[in-house]
Amino acid sequence: MGTGSFNAFWKPKAMKVVFRPEAEQELLEAQNWYEACAVGLGFEFARAVDAAISKMQRMPLAFPRIEGEFRHILTRKFPYSIIYHASSTEIIVVSVFHHRRKPKVWLQHTKG
């Protein structure tokens, strides 16, 4: 077998990503704010978030824990983290968190 044969049979499945309503609201508000700043910037923000989520799906346990079982991944070019919890079947995004916010305010999204 050649070195590429293994990859033909084993492809990790991307985990399902679920956004809590608060996280979805944060995402939309940030995207709208950036779009209001400059046409196309909201789209660039959305692409940065999408890229972070793609990495998170492929390697959900590769990113640092920040509180209990919650982890975060940084977005490129924008001062945001995607805060999430990975179970065996899905990834739950609890916050799209701006780095200038009060550090633990995202924990409010984990209750309920």
Nearest-angstrom CA–CA distance, 112 and 62: 27
Residue 105 has pLDDT above 80, yes or no: no
Sequence-ordered list of residues with C-beta below 8 angstroms from that of 34, at least 6 positions apart, any chain: 41, 42, 44, 45, 78
Give pLDDT tens digits for 12-65.
Answer: 567 899 999 999 999 999 999 999 999 999 999 999 999 999 999 999 999 999
pTM of the model: 0.78
Element (H, E) at 95: strand 90-98
